[in-house]
Chain A
Amino acid sequence: MTYVSKPEIHHPLLKVNEIGLNRRNYEGSVSTLCAGCGHDSVSAAIVQACSELSIPPHRFLKISGIGCSSKTPSYFLGNSHGFNSVHGRMPSVATGANLANRDMYCVGVSGDGDSASIGLGQFAHIVRRKINMLYIVDNNGTYGLTKGQFSATNDLGSTSKKGAPTLYSPIDMVSIALQIGAGFVARSFSGDKRQLVPLIKAGIMHKGFAFIDVISPCVLFNNHAGSTKSYDYVREHTEHVIDADVVLPHEEITVDYEPGTSESVNMPDGSRLHLNKLSNDYDPFDRVKALSHVQEAQERGEVVTGLLYVSRDPHDCHEILDTTDIPLNALEESVLCPGAGKLADLNQSFR
């Protein structure tokens, strides 16, 4: 909680993006989370990503469940649309919103409690349905908001602040997303914006369902020695496999990569997803191998980060359901509600 309010004034050299906004214009209200919470860094990364993508805030939808993590949509993109749903139910609301207005950039932020416990069923189905959104889990291995109970993602043996070990084996959200068929799966760390910001940009631009599991330490309840979700533990046990970045249609790739280590994939809006391999034998287009790589690493207590899987041929719910190209709110009433006659015809067609 911060009492000095963040002033509007900004650095005199702060850049403006293509639509004339600067990064600060993408902030929300000042966070009420504990100072040092990883979730705030994730919000800052979303702010930076949206600013770099020049997303018009009025076309941005932020959506969440319940938890410290789910509070964070208040702290970014203050001038956009948002919905703070009930615990574990963000996927349902996101699905409805997505179907109603396909023109929105949709980002969901949830927690490991919100998505891996009460909302696990909802999570599995939104992955299946390939809702066109970026789904972020701020994963701190604990229920921060309700004062630090172990969550379902906490590793077996990882201890509480007072030393009690976790008794159950963990649910790995990345493995579930890979297994159920998400088109874009990544893991990152709130303390590494250099990796996280490009991943968020790529996830937002991805067609279909994109998932990022962001390890985001809870400074209050799960950042001690003995925790496997602390700043120190994550930093010491990270294997960084693929760096991703979005190259917008008008931009050029400026970084020089070693030959054979980088590749570009075209994205629907004309931008390219640029991948840089940091680990030689990792193939980000192979879902099955990705799954086994992640699980093997987990056995060793290692955390694999980066873009873990991306489909070369992604699909989304609109394609699967063959929905109208025009968002429902832009359809004329006569088209949206074609009347009793049409309904009768439809019913007739099922007889």
Chain B
Amino acid sequence: MKATNILDPNYFHKVVDCQWACPAHTPVPEYIRLVAQQRYTEAYMINWDSNVFPGILGRTCDRPCEPACRRVRTEEKPVAICRLKRVAADHKGDITAFLPRVPVEKNGKKIALLGAGPASLAVARDLLPFGYEIDMFDQASAGGGMMRSQIPAFRLPADVLDEEVDLILNMGVNTHFDYEITSMQAMLDMNYDAYFVGTGAPRGRDLDIPGRTEVDEHISIGIDWLSSVAFGHTTNISGKVIVMGGGNTAMDCCRTSTRLGAESVTVVVRSAFEVMKASDWEKEDAMNEDIPIINNRPPKEFIHENGKLKGVLFECVTPVEENGRLKYVPSDEPDVFIEADHILMAIGQENHCPWIERDIGIEFDKWDCPILDEDTLQSTNPEIFFGGDSALGPENIIWASAHAHTAAISMHLFCQGRNVKGERPPEGVNLISQKMGIHEWSYDAEHDPSIRHIVPHAHKEASLKNIKVEVELGFDEKLGFDEAQRCLNCDVQTVFTDQLCIECDACVDICPMDCISFIDNAEESSMRPALMAPATNLEQDLYVSGHLETGRVMVKDEDVCLHCGLCAERCPTNAWDMQKSVIHIPQMGSYAE
């Protein structure tokens, strides 16, 4: 194998599994260390810079970082990364001094943001400090998009949402709320220098099975129903409720129904429990509230008597694995009938922008998604950019932030007449030694064997009565500290210097995880099984040195390294050093530095 180029920004970035998995590439271990040091404000600002909504995301993020966490591979449960973000938000001090300054004198360029969801808000935050004039349009009367209209208050309290949305609006956004956009052409006629479409994926899917039209008044589309609850138009639901669907919307629908007084609530899902779209913790929370989830039951027919809904007939299927994918075959069981007075349909969302004329240069694909350049999010009409759910279909808040950073750079380059694709700020990596003296490191290297700490919940009876009572209470400072200690500091990298190594084996002997081997160089496929411990996780790289005195190479399997620094402690020549990798992710902020 060729010697690893550790100056390639992606190499060590990939080792920081959580940061790599985060769409906005939040430097997770860096803020977790700050949380442990009770430096909450700094921890918050690191998050704010990367993901824009730390308080909101600390409660609601889809957390792609957690399944990626190294601790899943070394032990079992990931660090509660998301909840530590919330600790930073809950305990932070005054952040005013840390916020970017917005110039009074503008740069002469005007930008229109369509929609006031997280994607548009994050674009505004990125561009305002550079003197852009920003106009934001939304049909709703307040900013926040689906964070306000969909996510129930028992998961995201209004004050947390308001704080982070207002922070951006108060940077000087010209808001045009209660403004329904009915024509893109009309927007183009207003002659902005660039446009950002952040209008989300607002249409909930419907289901066309027998009886659908007859029982129309007993059926609500999940996301429409949730927003009418959010805006106070719907305050109760009575009788027996069936929620159809297995995603997060279904989980929010069922938990909201329980709180609004339903006599009974049942979630029915066509697929198997394991493959449900809802996150594990959403499923757990629903089940903790005693809501049954019934799987492998595709709906067949709405049963009614003269337009009065009686219930739903479901088919029974069995999942069988075929080529690693689940297929459903009819089982021997007879169809089941489940009584219902009301159905909440939560079977997916789609893009829908009928107000964008199809003859203004924006091309759409066959799924009605705009055709975009993935690196720039520019549409086929060069002055129009997309981001968030409207860009690639329904995702989540953290993807909306990540898109916003990409689009903001593109719009900046576009407005400055520069090449949107070719002149983007580069990624980079800095390595900083953490050695403070003999046996002294500037991070807490010791491995903490404790298991994931559980987040305390509000009293169940109280929270089921009131939709505004937040269920999760968050970690207090003590629990936050304890959980922060579980972080393995994966950004403190093991850096190897070939010329210094005397091949004494001390690092091999001390490494608790058998990461390090000195062997004859070969093809990757023949080296992987021949290492101290077989390197079976192909997604994790091997760190290969240049040739050493004996002709061998040092090979380190990054897979389960604890970043404990024992190799560097035991190395007599400092051939190993623990160095913090600071990854530079391109963002508008890159121009400020």
**Residues in A lying within 8 Å of B, measured CB to CB:** 1-14, 24, 30, 34-38, 40-41, 43-44, 190-191, 193, 217, 219, 223, 231-232, 235
Q: Is B506 within 8 A of A14, CB to CB?
A: no
Q: Is A3 within 8 A of B512, CB to CB?
A: no
CB within 8 Å of A: which of B228-261? none
Can you name the residue of chain A whose Cβ is closest to the Cβ of B533? Answer: A11
B93 interfacial contact with A, CB 8 Å: no
Task: Please give, as numbers and ranges, the residues of chain B lying within 8 Å of A35 by CB-CB distance.
Answer: 506, 569-572
Q: Is A14 within 8 A of B533, CB to CB?
A: yes
Q: Is A6 within 8 A of B549, CB to CB?
A: no
Contact of B569 among A2, A217, A232 (CB under 8 A): A2
B429 interfacial contact with A, CB 8 Å: no
Q: Is B506 within 8 A of A11, CB to CB?
A: no
Contact A11-B513, Cβ < 8 Å, known A36-B502, A41-B506, A231-B504:
yes
Contact A13-B447, Cβ < 8 Å, known A35-B506, A36-B570, A36-B573:
no
Q: Is B506 within 8 A of A40, CB to CB?
A: yes
Task: Please give, as numbers and ranges, the residues of chain B lying within 8 Å of A231 by CB-CB distance.
Answer: 502-504
Contact A9-B74, Cβ < 8 Å, known A35-B506, A36-B572:
yes
A305 to chain B, nearest CB (A): 14
Distance of A193 Cα from B514 Cα, bound (Å): 15
Contact of A13 among B534, B550, B562 (CB under 8 A): B534
Task: Please give, as numbers and ranges, the residues of chain B lying within 8 Å of A223 by CB-CB distance.
Answer: 502
Task: Please give, as numbers and ranges, the residues of chain B lying within 8 Å of A43 by CB-CB distance.
Answer: 509
Task: Please give, as numbers and ranges, the residues of chain A lying within 8 Å of B562 by CB-CB distance.
Answer: 7, 9
B564 interfacial contact with A, CB 8 Å: yes
Q: Is A219 within 8 A of B504, CB to CB?
A: yes
A328 to chain B, nearest CB (A): 37
Contact A44-B505, Cβ < 8 Å, known A4-B566, A11-B533, A235-B549:
yes
Contact A191-B74, Cβ < 8 Å, known A11-B514, A232-B549:
no
Chain A interface SS verdict (over half):
loop
Task: Please give, as numbers and ranges, the residues of chain B lying within 8 Å of A6 by CB-CB distance.
Answer: 510, 512, 566
- Among A11, A44, A217, chain B packs the most CB atoms within 10 A around the CB of A11
Q: Is B447 within 8 A of A9, CB to CB?
A: yes
Task: Please give, as numbers and ranges, the residues of chain A lying within 8 Å of B549 by CB-CB distance.
Answer: 232, 235
Distance of A174 Cα from B508 Cα, bound (Å): 28
Q: Is B512 within 8 A of A191, CB to CB?
A: no
**Residues in B lying within 8 Å of A, measured CB to CB:** 73-75, 439, 441, 445-447, 449, 502-506, 508-510, 512-514, 533-534, 536, 549-550, 560, 562, 564-566, 569-573
A157 to chain B, nearest CB (A): 23
Task: Please give, as numbers and ranges, the residues of chain A lying within 8 Å of B445 by CB-CB distance.
Answer: 4
Q: Is B512 within 8 A of A10, CB to CB?
A: yes
- Among B73, B449, B506, chain A packs the most CB atoms within 10 A around the CB of B506
Q: Is B571 within 8 A of A9, CB to CB?
A: no
Contact of A9 among B510, B513, B569 (CB under 8 A): B513
Distance of A14 Cα from B532 Cα, bound (Å): 10
Task: Please give, as numbers and ranges, the residues of chain B lying within 8 Å of A5 by CB-CB distance.
Answer: 446
28 interchain pairs, CB-CB under 8 A: A4-B441, A4-B564, A4-B569, A6-B510, A6-B512, A9-B75, A9-B512, A9-B513, A10-B512, A12-B73, A35-B506, A35-B569, A35-B571, A36-B502, A36-B506, A36-B570, A41-B506, A41-B509, A44-B509, A190-B505, A191-B503, A191-B504, A219-B502, A219-B504, A223-B502, A231-B502, A232-B502, A232-B549
Q: Is B570 within 8 A of A2, CB to CB?
A: yes
Contact A12-B560, Cβ < 8 Å, known A2-B569, A34-B572:
yes
Q: Is A41 within 8 A of B505, CB to CB?
A: yes
Task: Please give, as numbers and ranges, the residues of chain A lying within 8 Å of B75 by CB-CB distance.
Answer: 9
B150 to chain A, nearest CB (A): 39
Q: Which 3 pairs between the two chains have the least Cβ-Cβ distance? A: A36-B572, A7-B447, A44-B509
Task: Please give, as numbers and ranges, the residues of chain A lying within 8 Å of B571 by CB-CB distance.
Answer: 35-36
Can you name the residue of chain A whose Cβ is closest to the Cβ of B535? Answer: A13
Distance of A44 Cα from B571 Cα, bound (Å): 15
Distance of A37 Cα from B445 Cα, bound (Å): 23
Q: Is A13 within 8 A of B536, CB to CB?
A: yes
- Among B447, B449, B509, B566, chain A packs the most CB atoms within 10 A around the CB of B509
Task: Please give, as numbers and ranges, the residues of chain A lying within 8 Å of B449 by CB-CB distance.
Answer: 7-9
B56 to chain A, nearest CB (A): 35
Distance of A190 Cα from B372 Cα, bound (Å): 60
Q: Is A2 within 8 A of B439, CB to CB?
A: yes
Can you name the residue of chain A whose Cβ is closest to the Cβ of B505? Answer: A41
Task: Please give, as numbers and ranges, the residues of chain A lying within 8 Å of B513 by CB-CB distance.
Answer: 9-11
Q: Is A219 within 8 A of B74, CB to CB?
A: no
Q: Is B569 within 8 A of A12, CB to CB?
A: no
A74 to chain B, nearest CB (A): 15
Distance of A234 Cα from B549 Cα, bound (Å): 12
Task: Please give, as numbers and ranges, the residues of chain A lying within 8 Å of B570 by CB-CB distance.
Answer: 2, 35-36, 40
Can you name the residue of chain A whose Cβ is closest to the Cβ of B504? Answer: A36
Can you name the residue of chain A whose Cβ is closest to the Cβ of B439? Answer: A3
Given contacts A6-B512, A35-B571, A36-B502, 18 further A-B contacts (CB under 8 A): A2-B566, A2-B570, A4-B439, A7-B446, A7-B447, A7-B562, A9-B512, A10-B514, A12-B560, A36-B571, A40-B505, A40-B509, A40-B510, A40-B570, A43-B509, A44-B505, A190-B504, A219-B572
B508 to chain A, nearest CB (A): 8
A6 to chain B, nearest CB (A): 5
Distance of A10 Cα from B511 Cα, bound (Å): 9
B590 to chain A, nearest CB (A): 36
Q: Is B439 within 8 A of A1, CB to CB?
A: yes
Distance of A44 Cα from B439 Cα, bound (Å): 22
Task: Please give, as numbers and ranges, the residues of chain B lying within 8 Å of A7 by CB-CB distance.
Answer: 446-447, 449, 512, 562, 564
Q: Is A235 within 8 A of B550, CB to CB?
A: yes
Q: Is B564 within 8 A of A191, CB to CB?
A: no
Task: Please give, as numbers and ranges, the residues of chain A lying within 8 Å of B573 by CB-CB distance.
Answer: 36
Can you name the residue of chain A whose Cβ is closest to the Cβ of B573? Answer: A36
Task: Please give, as numbers and ranges, the residues of chain A lying within 8 Å of B502 by CB-CB distance.
Answer: 36, 219, 223, 231-232
Task: Please give, as numbers and ranges, the residues of chain B lying within 8 Å of A24 by CB-CB distance.
Answer: 512
Distance of A14 Cα from B513 Cα, bound (Å): 9
Can you name the residue of chain B whose Cβ is closest to the Cβ of A4? Answer: B445
Q: Is A4 within 8 A of B509, CB to CB?
A: no
Contact A191-B505, Cβ < 8 Å, known A2-B566, A8-B449, A232-B549:
yes
B452 to chain A, nearest CB (A): 15
Distance of A14 Cα from B502 Cα, bound (Å): 27
Can you name the residue of chain B whose Cβ is closest to the Cβ of A1? Answer: B439
Task: Please give, as numbers and ranges, the residues of chain B lying within 8 Å of A38 by CB-CB distance.
Answer: 504
Distance of A24 Cα from B566 Cα, bound (Å): 15
A249 to chain B, nearest CB (A): 26
Distance of A246 Cα from B75 Cα, bound (Å): 34
Contact A217-B439, Cβ < 8 Å, known A7-B449, A11-B560, A35-B570:
no
Distance of A223 Cα from B514 Cα, bound (Å): 26
Distance of A2 Cα from B506 Cα, bound (Å): 12
A194 to chain B, nearest CB (A): 10
Distance of A72 Cα from B566 Cα, bound (Å): 19
A33 to chain B, nearest CB (A): 9
- Among A4, A9, A37, chain B packs the most CB atoms within 10 A around the CB of A4
A37 to chain B, nearest CB (A): 8
B536 to chain A, nearest CB (A): 7
Task: Please give, as numbers and ranges, the residues of chain A lying within 8 Å of B512 by CB-CB distance.
Answer: 6-10, 24
Task: Please give, as numbers and ranges, the residues of chain A lying within 8 Å of B446 by CB-CB distance.
Answer: 4-5, 7
A23 to chain B, nearest CB (A): 9
Can you name the residue of chain A whose Cβ is closest to the Cβ of B571? Answer: A35
Distance of A216 Cα from B441 Cα, bound (Å): 29
Q: Is A2 within 8 A of B572, CB to CB?
A: no
Contact of A217 among B74, B504, B536, B550 (CB under 8 A): B504
B488 to chain A, nearest CB (A): 11
Distance of A19 Cα from B505 Cα, bound (Å): 28
Distance of A10 Cα from B505 Cα, bound (Å): 18
Distance of A9 Cα from B449 Cα, bound (Å): 8
B509 to chain A, nearest CB (A): 4
Distance of A35 Cα from B569 Cα, bound (Å): 8
Task: Please give, as numbers and ranges, the residues of chain B lying within 8 Å of A235 by CB-CB distance.
Answer: 503, 549-550
Task: Please give, as numbers and ranges, the residues of chain B lying within 8 Å of A191 by CB-CB distance.
Answer: 503-505
- Among B74, B536, B570, chain A packs the most CB atoms within 10 A around the CB of B570
